[in-house]
Amino acid sequence: MRIEEDVKLDFKDVLIRPKRSTLASRKEVDIKRAYTFKWSKRTYEGVPIIAANMDNVGTMDMARAFIKDGNGLTVALHKHYPLETLIDFFSEYGGSSVWYSIGLVQDDRDKLKAFLESAPQKEGKGIDKICIDVANGYSESFLDYIKGIRDMIPDDITLMAGNVVTGEIVEELILAGIDIVKVGIGPGSVCTTRKMTGVGYPQLSAIIECADAAHGLGGRICGDGGCTVPGDVSKAFAGGSDFVMLGGMLAGHDESEQEIVTGDDGEKYLAFYGMSSDTAMKKHKGGVAEYRASEGKTVKIPYRGPVEGTLQDILGGVRSTCTYVGARQLKELTKRTTFVRVTQQINNIFGAG
């Protein structure tokens, strides 16, 4: 057994130090990024925020809202849409606003294969990016799986895969053909991995260390999980995240494709749950497999209306961060950031809101 003594940080442990700035207003800030990916050679341009591939966040309605918003945010569609529904969606909107998600199961691969033969794919309106998602990106079979997928798909499809939290495995994944490595084990709002297993890594440090490893090889990372307020999204970008994936912050909206229920208090609520919670497993797999404990929870959250207002808050927050440190473009945020370690960051005297 060994103990690592140096402190690892979460978003709540730091603030971003303001710097002298010539920017007069946040309107002057450009929070879009442009990337050309290492393996697919495709280019991406937009605000690099991704709605998580959870069945109450990574929805087609969310994708429609993002398209309407026009800032180039993308949605990792959850993997439970039937093939026909996916074909209809891509025929109408093309693939540029969404990631096609797969896990490790054979059914996911079969569905992907079928989609790659479908009409939208042949007409150039198909999948251009895929998100391969597993709870534990450290197993050797995962690396083989990734190589198998790389061989199965056209070379110009961008691949994102995870989740991991340490630099050495980021390097391995990138060398195995991954364009973007997804970073985060245990920080999620409805994740119980840390509670059930004791495994995890403070998310801001994971981002900083993994970004360093990825960028050295021309790869990219996506910080996934743990953002609770717009300031956390800014900290993730400032720490070196090329993309940031959001679950809980985008949950509870009209676009969640969930039933809205009225509570005894007369307020409206929606269910929000982790993708490996009992709720999700019952819904999609008919129960929790005996050998695996559920590592996600189910919560009831207040209904928040259309996602549009929340997006304005998040994008406005990130723009404002850039103004405080004098970053005219989001691209400059990391090098203009000095994190200050703190023992308190938010004054909650009148509640956490």
**H-helix or E-strand spanning residue 291:** none
Q: Please state the closest distance from residue 186 (CB atom) to ligand 5GP, in A.
A: 6
Q: What mask, x for binding ligand 5GP by CB under 6 A, covers residues 178 to 207? A: ------x---xxxx-x--------------
Q: Is 226 in the site for ligand 5GP (CB under 6 A)?
A: yes
**Which of 59, 158, 193, 337 does the annotation list as catalytic?**
193
Residues 6+ apart with CB under 8 A from 246: 49, 50, 51, 52, 57, 227, 233, 314
In terms of Cα–Cα distance, which of 331, 311, 163 is closest to 237?
331
Q: Please state the closest distance from residue 119 (CB atom) to ligand 5GP, in A.
A: 30
Of 21 and 205, nearer to ligand 5GP (C-beta) is 205
Of 23 and 288, nearer to ligand 5GP (C-beta) is 288
- DSSP lists the bridge partners of residue 302 as 269
Q: Is 224 in the site for ligand 5GP (CB under 6 A)?
A: yes
Q: Is 48 in the site for ligand 5GP (CB under 6 A)?
A: no
Q: Please state the closest distance from residue 287 (CB atom) to ligand 5GP, in A.
A: 15
Task: Decide if 296 contacts 280 (C-beta within 8 A).
Answer: yes
Give the total residue count for the chain: 353
Q: Is 232 in the site for ligand 5GP (CB under 6 A)?
A: no
- Output the six-digit token pair for 183: 């970073």
- Residue 279 falls in the annotated catalytic set: no
Could you tell me which stretch among 10-18, 152-160, 172-180, 223-231 binds ligand 5GP (CB under 6 A)? 223-231
- Residue 191 falls in the annotated catalytic set: yes
Q: Is 143 in the site for ligand 5GP (CB under 6 A)?
A: no
Task: Decide if 46 contacts 66 (C-beta within 8 A).
Answer: no
How crowded is the C-beta side of 352, counted as CA atoms within 13 Å? 2
Q: How far apart are CA 181 and CA 213, in angstroms?
A: 10
Interface of this chain with ligand 5GP, residues 291 to 350, rule: CB under 6 A: 295-296
Q: Is 256 in the site for ligand 5GP (CB under 6 A)?
A: no
- DSSP lists the bridge partners of residue 159 as 130
Cβ-based burial of 343 (10 A; exposed 0-12, middle 13-18, buried ≥19): exposed
User: CA of 157: how far to CAs of 3, 44, 131, in Å?
Assistant: 41, 12, 10
**Which of 191, 210, 222, 322 does the annotation list as catalytic?**
191
Q: Is 225 in the site for ligand 5GP (CB under 6 A)?
A: yes
Backbone phi and psi for residue 142, each to the nearest 5 degrees, phi listed first: -65, -45
Q: Is 247 in the site for ligand 5GP (CB under 6 A)?
A: yes
SS3 260: coil
Of 184 and 230, nearer to ligand 5GP (C-beta) is 184
Q: Is 209 in the site for ligand 5GP (CB under 6 A)?
A: no
- Tell me the catalytic residues: 191, 193
Using CB under 6 A as the criterion, which residues of the chain lie in contact with ligand 5GP when the complex forms? 52, 54, 135, 163, 184, 188-191, 193, 224-227, 245-249, 274-277, 295-296
